[in-house]
Amino acid sequence: MVRFEDISSPARLAEPDEGIGPDELSLAARNHGLPLEGLRYSLTPPGMHYVLTHYDIPYVPDDTSWELTVGGHVEHPLCLGMAELRAHHPVTTRVTMECAGNGRALLSPRPVSQPWLLEAVGTADWTGVPLRALLSEAGVRDGAVDVVFTGADHGVERGVEQDYQRALPLDTALGHTPEVLVAYAMNGAPLPPQHGHPLRLVVPGWYGMAHVKWLRDITVAEEPFTGFQQTVAYRLRQEPDEEGTPVTRIAPRALMIPPGFPDFMSRSRVVSPGDVLLEGRAWSGRAPIIAVDVSTDEGRTWSPANLEPPTDHRWAWRHWHVTWTATPGSHVLCARATDAEGRTQPLEQPWNRGGFANNLVQRVPVLCAEPD
Ligand SMILES: Nc1nc2c(c(=O)[nH]1)N[C@H]1C(S)=C(S)[C@@H](COP(=O)(O)O)O[C@H]1N2
Ligand SMILES: [Mo]
């Protein structure tokens, strides 16, 4: 008899003084973030892009026998090989992707899960077939409500054995701007194994959980999808028994490349007195970023940073910079993004039990050393 309760624990919050345990450490060792100095690249080198995988990375050394099925409530179910998918008109979109749990380990109380600090983000050029084209080939029948995406990875989570599955409402699947992609390339090369080789979904502007990797099936459903990753995980809840609201689009965030040089263990920063370039990236999956403000006194006063003008890549982060004249002593630097619909980053933690969509402003403690 398989007893999942022996190996699979329920969601919980850490005790007030509880450190990161072996379970969280084993997740953190598998799922790496973007080293923040990697924010210098407008397009993240693939090995630097953050990775989050709930179960195991499927082994697909050769994609020639990979099949994507499209079925459910459609006129003509499809079964497509990689060559057929590549023969479709390709679309490339530059997308900043962020894990919904980014910032979780900084919350108090801390939801026990993948313990991200702030680095669960990356930007890539994703190339593939518009989902809309595949759904139109299959012919969605009247009465469809959701489109369910299934990955080839399998596991157990809080006692529930499952394939990784997520759904999009049909109107999002068909009407999303820019198009949702069934992607087979990242930065012009086949997807790396950890990013979904050979196929993944890309939903520009949405948190990472929607971008189903190792995509093997698309099913059009007449009933709302109630799978684990849709109705149990990835919901904003204050209490465990609440229905909660779904996690969808990325809240605005600015991150700063920590300036100067780090201490090995504490990663505290050291800068020299004088002019210091403060720079980073800002993004939002809701409305375009219109401002980034920087504080060098822990959020008491703010001044505007120079924001890179809008580019053709609306769904990618934008660079910002400002010069700071550092004076000897300890400082806490912060950056805060605001989007065109007036959303900005809070100074108090936005808390929910999953630790999702938390865009609390970053704090970067810096020691400015006296000259010798
Ligand atoms: N099949 C599958 N797709 C998945 C996941 C997964 O575990 N399995 N993790 C999701 C989550 S939570 C995130 S944040 C993104 C991470 O994508 P990346 O590893 O390419 O950065 O993939 C999403 N797609
Ligand atoms: Mo995630």
Quote the ligand 2 centre to 105 CA distance (angstroms): 14
Q: Which ligand is nearest to the CA of 212?
A: 1
Residue 54 Cα to ligand 2 midpoint, Å, equals 9
CATH ID of 253-368, from 2.60.40.650, 3.30.450.20, 3.30.230.30, 2.40.160.40: 2.60.40.650
Q: How far is the CA of 245 from the centre of ligand 1 (A)?
A: 20
Residue with CA closest to ligand 1 atom 21: 51
Give me the pLDDT at residue 1, please.
59
CA of 233 to the centre of ligand 1 (A): 13
Separation between Cα atoms, residue 359 and residue 247, nearest integer Å? 13
- SS3 state at 137: helix
Mean pLDDT of 70-77: 98
Distances (CA, A) of 346 to 34, 133, 253, 336, 361: 23, 39, 10, 8, 6
Enter the pTM of the model.
0.97
Q: What does each C-alpha distance from 124 to 45, 121, 216, 267 come to in angstroms? A: 8, 10, 22, 27
**Which chain residues have CB less than 5 Å from ligand 2, an ion?**
52, 99, 208-209
- Measured by CA distance, the residue closest to atom 16 of ligand 1 is 52
Q: By mean pLDDT, which of 83-87, 204-208, 263-267, 359-363 is the weakest?
A: 263-267
Domain assignments of the chain as residue spans, ordered by start: 4-243, 253-368
pLDDT interval class at 6 (50, 70, 90): confident
Residue with CA closest to ligand 1 atom 2: 213
Dist. CA 289–CA 280, nearest whole Å: 13
Ligand 1 binding pocket, CB closer than 6 Å: 49-54, 97, 99, 151, 153, 164, 195, 208-209, 211-214
The answer on pLDDT for 371 being more than 90 is no
Task: For residue 311, give every residue at least 6 positions away whose Cβ sits within 8 Å of its Cβ, in sequence order, or none.
Answer: 318
Q: Which atom of ligand 1 is nearest to the CA of 49?
A: 21
In the prediction, which pLDDT does 46 show? 84
CB contact at 8 A, 196 and 131: no
Query: Please, where are the H alpha helices in 182-286?
Result: 228-231
Cα 82 to ligand 2 centre (Å): 26
pLDDT digits (tens, 9 = 90+) for 176-193: 889 999 999 999 999 999
Ligand 1 mutation target, pool 213, 214, 228, most atoms within 8 A of CB: 213
What tens digit of pLDDT does each residue of 226-251 get?
A: 999 999 999 999 999 999 999 999 99
**Residue 367 to residue 268: CA distance in whole angstroms:** 8
CATH number, domain 4-243, options 3.90.420.10, 3.10.129.10, 3.40.50.2300, 3.40.50.300: 3.90.420.10
Q: What is the pLDDT of residue 4?
A: 85
